[in-house]
Structure 1
Amino acid sequence: MDRKTRKLLTINRGLHPKSDVDRLYLPRKKGGRGLKSVEDVVREEKCSLFHYLAKSKESLLKVVHDSEASRGVNRSRDENVDELASSYWPTKGDLTFESEGFLIAAQDQALNTRAVRQVYSGSANAQCRLCNTQAETVEHLISGCSQLDGTKYKLRHDNVARYIHWCLCGKHSFERVSNWWKHCPDSVIENDSVEILWDFNIFVDHFISARKPDIVVINNEAATISLIDVAVPADKHISAKEEEKLMKYQDLRIELERLWKKKTTMIPIVISSLNVYLLQKTALLGTATTLWKVLQLSGCG
C-alpha cells in the first residue's frame, strides 16, 4: 500500500524519484511531508501491544521490542540554527505540490546533478555545466556558482529584501500595493517620524568601503537607525554569513552613530537558500526556479 502511494505521488510529480523515502513520513514540523505510513501504523500498534505485555507479571511476556530508530534528515546543519524554525515552511502548505516535492528532493541532494550522475552512473564529467570550475552539486548550484552570482542569486536576494521593505512600509503607515511581489521600492520614503532608504549609498566624512546596506530605517521619534542587509547562503554557511555582515557594516554603524547622534543597530537577515516563514517561501521559490532552469540545460541527461 505504501509503495503504491509513493508511486502515485511520483507520477503526479509530488515526490522526486530519488528523494528520501523515510523523510516522506516525518512530521511536517520536523521538515518532512507528514504522510502516514501503513507499515508504521502497524508497527506502532505492535509496539504498543508489546509494551502492554511487558507490564505483565508473567516472565515470558516481559519482552519489549524497541520501535524503529528515529529517522533523520541527511542535510548539513549549522549548530546555531533553530531547526524547528527552519523546518516551519512545510507546515504552512502554501507551496504547490510539485514545488514542495522538488525542494524536498533538493534538500535530500537527490536531484540529477552532474556530481550525482558521476556517483551512480560513472559519468566522467562532474564539473558544473555553467562555471566549469567546481563539482556540480545542489549546494554549488544554489549558492556557489559564479555564473549565477549576478543574476539568479541577486534576483532571489532582491525578492527577499523587497518583501522586508514592503512589510516595513505597512508597519510605518506608508502607502503600498496589496501584493509584495508587485512592490517597487523607492530609494527614499519618509513621513513625520520615519525615513526608509532602499539600496542607498550613504555618504560619511571619511572612506568606508561598505556604505550601501539593502535597507536603512531611520526612526526620528525613537532616535534609532537600523541597518538591514540580506543574505541567502547554503545551510552550513548561515552563522559565518551573519558574522560577515556584522563585521562588514561595523565601521558604518559606528560612524552613523557619531554623525547622526542616533543609536545604530546592524540587523543581518540571513536565510538558508534551502530552508524561514514567508521570507522562507520567497527564498525557497527563488532557489527552486534556479535549480529547475539550470538542470534543464543541455548536459543534464
Structure 2
Amino acid sequence: MHHPNSAIERISLPIDVGGVGILDIHRLHQSQIKALRQYFHEKSTNHALFRAVCQADTKSTPLKLSDIEYDPEDNRFSTQSQIQRWKQKELHGSHAHHLLHENTDTEASNLYLRGTLFAETVGFIGAIQDRVMNTRNYQKYILKNKNIVDKCRRCGSPNETIEHIICGCETLAPMDYTQRHNNVARIIHQQLAKNF
C-alpha cells in the first residue's frame, strides 16, 4: 500500500531499491515494443513477408519498424531516472539519499518490504520515511497552514518533526523509548537463546 502523500516515484520502483514494486505500465509497454521490434527485424532477414511489413511500417504502428535507429526505451521511466527524481525531492528525497548511500545495506534496509507486514503498515512506514506524516512541522511548512504553532504536542519543544517524535521528545523518552528499546532487546535475547 502506498500512502497518498508519499513520493510517487516509489510506486513503480523495485522493492530492492526501496520502492513498492508495482508494475509500471509504461515500462511494460516499452519492453513489449522493444521485443516485438527485435522479433520482426530478426524474421525480416529470412522472410519476405516480415521484410515487407518492416518496410511498410512508416510510423503507422508504435513499433516504427522502418526506422532502424528508433529506440523505444524512454529514459524518463527507467529505474535510475525515477531514483534521481526521488532523490531530488527536498522532503521525500532524504530517505532516498540515506538508503542509497554507499555505506547503507540497501537489501537489508528494504527487507521489511518482502516480509509479512500488512500493506497498510508498509504504507505508513513509507510515509514516515518520506516525512509526510501529519506532524505540526509538516502542517506548517509543507501544507502552509499559518495557524499552526510548530511545537511538540507532548513536550512543547519547537519543531514537531518525525525525528523529534521518534527519538527526541523528552516526554516520550522515559516511557515509550524505553519500552521500544526493551521490546527490541527482548527479541534479540530470544534469538540468541534459541541459537546458543
Between structures 1 and 2, the one with greater strand share: 1
Structure 1, unmatched stretches of 5+, are 1-13, 173-301
Match of 1:121 in 2: 144
Deviations 1:102-157 (A, max 9, x none): 11111111211111111223334222222222312222211222221122211111
Rounded to whole Å, the distance in 2 between the matches of 1:137 and 1:22 is 23
1:51 to 1:108, Cα distance in 2 relative to 1, 3 A: farther
**Which residue of 1 is the match for residue 192 of structure 2?**
168
Paired position in structure 1 for 2:118: 96
CA RMSD, aligned part only? 2.9
1:108 and 2:141 matched = no
Residues 48 and 142 of structure 1: CA distance in aligned 2, closer, same or farther (over 3 Å)? farther
Q: Which among 13, 19, 22 is matched to residue 32 of structure 1?
A: 19
1:140 aligns with 2:127: no
* Cross-structure match for 2:106: 83
- Given that 1:29 and 1:91 are in contact with CA atoms closer than 8 Å, whether structure 2 keeps it comes out as no
Distance 2:151 2:129 in 1: 20
TM-score after normalising by structure 2: 0.67
Identity of aligned residues (%): 31
Query: Is residue 2–residue 20 contact of structure 2 (8 Å, CA) maintained in 1?
Result: no
Measured in 1, the distance between the counterparts of 2:155 and 2:39 equals 60
1:27 and 1:87 map into 2 onto residues whose CA distance is: 10
Which residue is 1:152 aligned to?
176
Please, what TM-score do these two structures have when normalized by structure 1?
0.46
Any stretches of 5+ residues in structure 2 without a counterpart? 43-53, 55-64, 87-92
1:211-245 per-residue CA deviation (whole Å, 9 max, x = no partner) reads xxxxxxxxxxxxxxxxxxxxxxxxxxxxxxxxxxx
d(CA) in 2 for partners of 1:136, 1:51? 55
Mapped contact 1:16–1:105 kept (Cα < 8 A): yes
The one of 75, 82, 89 equivalent to 1:67 is: 75
Seen in structure 2, the aligned counterparts of structure 1 residues 60 and 118 have a Cα distance that, compared at 3 Å, is same
- Taking the aligned partners of 1:106 and 1:37, their CA distance within structure 2 comes to 24
CA deviation profile, 1:31-80 (whole Å, cap 9, x unmatched): 22221122332233345567889999x99531335422422252151642
The structure showing larger relative contact order (alpha-carbon pairs under 8 Å, at least 6 residues apart) is 2
> CA 1:53/1:118 → structure 2, altered by over 3 Å: closer, same or farther?
farther
Are the equivalent residues in 2 in contact too, given 1:53–1:61 (CA < 8 A)? no
- The one-letter amino acid of 1:146's match is E
Say if 1:111 and 1:48 are closer, same or farther in 2 by CA, change over 3 A. farther
CA distance in 1, matches of 2:134, 2:66: 54
- Superposed, 1:257-272 pairs within 5 Å as none
Kindly state the Cα deviation for residue 90 of structure 1 after the two structures are TM-superposed: 0.4
Cα separation, 2, equivalents of 1:108 and 1:102: 10
